C-alpha cells in the first residue's frame, strides 16, 4: 500500500496541547465490528469489557529525558536522551539552529558538561557526559513531550505524561492509551478481568516517520520488550480458553504479536504492523487517535480496516475529538 493511503486532513486546533482535567474524563470513540460508532467517555470503558477478559498494559516508565543544554556561546540545544550506549555515554537527538561539531562541549548546568563524541548511522548524536546521566535527568530533565505539543514541558507533565501503573524505567515517550486510566478504575476492573503487565520501552522506532511512498519499504527501529513468565502463563491460558485479550496501546499490541511470532518472551522487536496483518493474540485494541501517515495509524488500520478507521477519524474530527498523545481514545473491536 502507499503512504498516501493513510493521510487525512486534521485541523491543527484539534491537536491536544494539555491533558484532560481528569484522566478518565477523556472522550472514547467505540468502533464496533460492523462499523457502528458509539461516542462515550473513558469512564464508560468498563461497560465495554466482559468478565474474564484479559487487559494487557505496558508498564514502561517514561524517563525525564529532555534536557536543555547550552553551547559555549550561550546558544540553546534541545536534547532528547534516547538510550544508553555506555556508562556515561548516551545516544541523543539534538535540535539547534546552528551546526554542531564533533568534540564540542555542551553545558548541562553549572556542575555538569557533555562532549559530542560522534554520530550513529541513524543520525543521532553520541554524547559523553561527565556526570551520572540518570541522576542528571532526575534533577534537570523534563518530560519528553512530542514536538506537536507546542510548549515546553512543565513540572506537571512529569506526572501526567506517565501512566499510573508505570514501573520500569526506559521509555522516551508514554504509551499514551494508558494515560486515561486511574488507579480507582484499575482496582475496580481487577475484580472482573485479569490485568497483565508487559514491557516495551518506547523508543524512536515507534515514532520514526515513514519516508517511502511504498510503506513495505519502511523499516522500524528495534525496541526492547519483555513479558514475564507469570504473564505468559496468563496469556496462554486465555488463548486456550478463547477469552478475549484487550491490548492497551499500540506498543502493547506489538509486544504481544511479536511474542506470538517468535515465541520469545523478551528481546528486541522491529515488527511493523500494517495492512494486511493476521493478529494472533489481540482481539480488542484501546488506542489514541494517531498522526496521519504514521506507523501507529497503519497498525490501527490493520486491526480495524483502513476505510473504517478513516471514516471513524472523519467523524471524530467533525465532533471535535482531541487528537494525539494528550487527546481522546478509541476502542477498536473485532
Confidence check: pLDDT of 316 > 80: yes
User: What is d(CA 294, CA 194) in angstroms, rounded to the nearest whole number?
Assistant: 31
Rounded average pLDDT over 248-264: 98
Q: DSSP class of residue 81?
A: E
Lowest mean pLDDT, pick from 13-27, 155-169, 203-217: 203-217
For residue 174, give the nearest of 150, 149, 139 by alpha carbon: 149
Confidence check: pLDDT of 207 > 80: no
Confidence check: pLDDT of 204 > 90: no
Confidence of residue 178 (pLDDT cuts 50, 70, 90): very high
Residue pLDDT, tens place only, 60-102: 999 999 999 999 999 999 999 999 998 899 999 999 988 999 9
* Residue 162, CA distances (Å) to 53, 145, 180 in order: 24, 11, 10
pLDDT at 195: 98
Q: What is the mean pLDDT of the chain?
A: 96
Residue pLDDT, tens place only, 41-61: 999 999 999 999 999 999 999
* Domains of the chain with bracketed CATH: 3-62+156-333 (3.40.1780.10), 66-140 (2.40.10.240)
The residue behind cell 521509555 is: 171
Residue pLDDT, tens place only, 122-176: 889 999 999 999 999 999 999 999 999 999 899 999 999 999 999 999 999 999 9
pLDDT at 171: 95
User: What is d(CA 63, CA 318) in angstroms, rounded to the nearest whole number?
Assistant: 35
Confidence check: pLDDT of 334 > 80: yes
pTM: 0.94
C-alpha R_g of the chain: 20
User: What is d(CA 216, CA 225) in angstroms, rounded to the nearest whole number?
Assistant: 23
Amino acid at each position: 500500500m502507499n503512504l498516501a493511503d493513510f493521510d487525512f486532513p486534521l485541523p491543527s486546533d484539534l491537536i491536544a496541547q494539555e491533558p484532560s482535567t481528569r484522566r478518565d474524563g477523556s472522550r472514547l470513540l467505540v468502533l464496533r465490528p460492523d462499523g457502528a460508532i458509539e461516542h462515550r467517555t473513558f469512564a464508560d470503558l468498563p461497560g465495554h469489557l466482559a468478565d474474564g477478559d484479559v487487559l494487557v498494559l505496558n508498564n514502561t516508565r517514561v524517563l525525564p529525558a529532555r534536557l536543555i543544554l547550552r553551547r559555549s556561546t550561550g546558544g540553546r540545544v534541545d536534547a532528547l536522551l534516547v538510550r544508553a550506549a555506555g556508562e556515561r555515554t548516551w545516544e541523543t537527538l539534538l535540535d539547534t539552529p546552528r551546526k554542531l561539531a564533533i568534540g564540542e562541549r555542551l553545558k548541562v548546568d553549572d556542575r555538569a558538561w557533555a562532549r559530542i563524541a560522534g554520530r550513529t548511522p541513524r543520525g543521532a548524536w553520541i554524547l559523553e557526559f561527565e556526570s551520572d546521566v540518570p541522576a542528571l535527568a532526575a534533577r534537570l530533565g523534563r518530560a519528553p513531550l512530542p514536538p506537536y505539543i507546542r510548549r515546553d514541558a512543565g513540572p506537571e507533565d512529569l506526572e501526567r505524561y506517565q501512566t499510573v501503573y508505570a514501573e520500569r524505567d526506559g521509555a522516551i515517550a508514554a504509551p499514551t492509551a494508558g494515560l486515561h486510566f486511574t488507579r480507582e478504575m484499575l482496582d475496580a476492573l481487577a475484580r472482573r478481568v485479569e490485568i497483565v503487565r508487559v514491557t516495551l520501552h518506547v523508543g524512536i522506532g515507534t515514532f520514526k516517520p515513514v519516508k517511502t511512498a511504498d510503506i513495505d519499504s519502511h523499516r522500524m527501529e528495534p525496541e526492547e520488550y519483555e513479558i514475564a513468565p507469570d504473564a505468559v502463563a496468563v496469556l496462554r491460558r486465555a488463548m486456550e480458553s478463547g477469552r478475549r485479550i484487550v491490548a492497551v496501546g499500540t506498543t502493547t499490541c506489538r509486544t504481544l504479536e511479536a511474542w506470538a511470532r517468535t515465541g520469545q518472551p523478551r528481546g528486541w522487536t522491529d515488527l511493523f504492523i500494517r495492512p494486511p496483518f493476521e493478529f494472533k493474540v489481540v482481539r480488542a485494541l484501546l488506542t489514541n487517535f494517531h498522526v496521519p501517515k504514521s506507523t501507529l495509524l497503519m497498525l490501527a488500520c490493520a486491526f480495524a480496516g483502513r476505510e473504517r478507521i478513516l471514516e471513524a477519524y472523519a467523524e471524530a474530527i467533525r465532533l471535535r475529538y482531541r487528537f494525539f498523545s494528550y487527546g481522546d481514545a478509541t476502542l477498536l473491536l473485532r
